[in-house]
A = this chain, B = another copy of it.
Amino acid sequence: MLSSREVEKKKNNKVVEVGDVKVGGEELVIMAGPCAVESREQLFEAAHRVKEHGGQILRGGAFKPRTSPYSFQGLGEEGLKLLAQARERTGLKIVTEVMDSEDIDLVDSYADILQIGSRNMQNYGMLKKLGRVDTPILLKRGYSATIKEWLLAAEYIIAHGNPNVILCERGIRTFETATRNTLDLNAIAFIKETTDYPIIIDPSHGTGKRSLVTPLAQAGISVGADGVIVEVHPNPKEALCDGEQSLKPAEFANLVIKLDKVAKAIDKKLAV
């Protein structure tokens, strides 16, 4: 595979640059924000808290992949505009999902990172088209994709021209039902050892429970991830999606403090 680490291990990992934020380098990156962009007030409040407490990149969905056709589907382009405004106000970069190959150009005109969700990891038509832009791609692992399938999905993007792929482990589907998914931290260590991709973890989707996000984020940093992406909402109880796994701003602040300590214990540091 194109990106496989040689037997003689490389000294440096691949670094994907998102403006002046580097993913995969010496500093760990924190991406945070609400599951969905719901309103100007909600998004701006979230963005300010993410910036204040140490995040570099704002997440938020404008197009939402929902299992049911009757669930909230996102604000669409209006959501993208709000994200761009939040970027202007805070200086945060923005990462947001593109759900359909026809929307790539639209989302690309607003976002700093294009997120490909778990359900689209093997949407090969879309992957090929993502090869034609040079915006960084956050490629989430399919919830039942093997590591090999995931790396081959990444190669679709690279082979079609865009080398800027960041992987994101977000939990796999197993028989366990106590947690929403099973965060596969073996995968982080395996990928860091055998490839040069930057890789981050998503403990929010990986656990589905607010109280488990911080310990799993700590574990993810300890095992070698280049950063985390977490859901933060000003008022999780009223969130239109994923409220039960979203951190409150004060919990997010506490998370960053804890990750800073763990990072230092393994001779890394947060981007801050």
Contact = CB atoms under 8 A, between A and B. Distances in A.
Nearest to A207: B186
B102 A125 contact: yes
User: Which secondary structure characterizes the binding site on chain A?
Assistant: helix
Contacts of A39: none
A182 to B, nearest CB: 5
A159 interface: yes
A177 B68 CA distance: 18
A89 interface: no
A265 B120 CA distance: 37
Nearest to A261: B265
Interface residues of A, number: 70
Given A211-B193, A223-B215, A124 B66 contact: yes
A267 to B, nearest CB: 9
A152 interface: yes
Given A99-B125, A125-B99, A126-B100, A190 B186 contact: no
A266 to B, nearest CB: 7
Contacts of A188: 215
Given A103-B125, A186-B206, A223-B219, A148 B178 contact: yes
B152 A175 contact: no
A176 B185 contact: no
Interface in A139-167: 143-144, 146-149, 152, 155-156, 159-160
Given A179-B187, A189-B212, A193-B212, 10 more contacts: A66-B124, A67-B152, A100-B124, A144-B173, A172-B182, A174-B175, A178-B187, A185-B185, A218-B223, A264-B265
The 3 A-B residue pairs with the shortest CB-CB distance, nearest first, are A100-B125, A144-B144, A265-B265
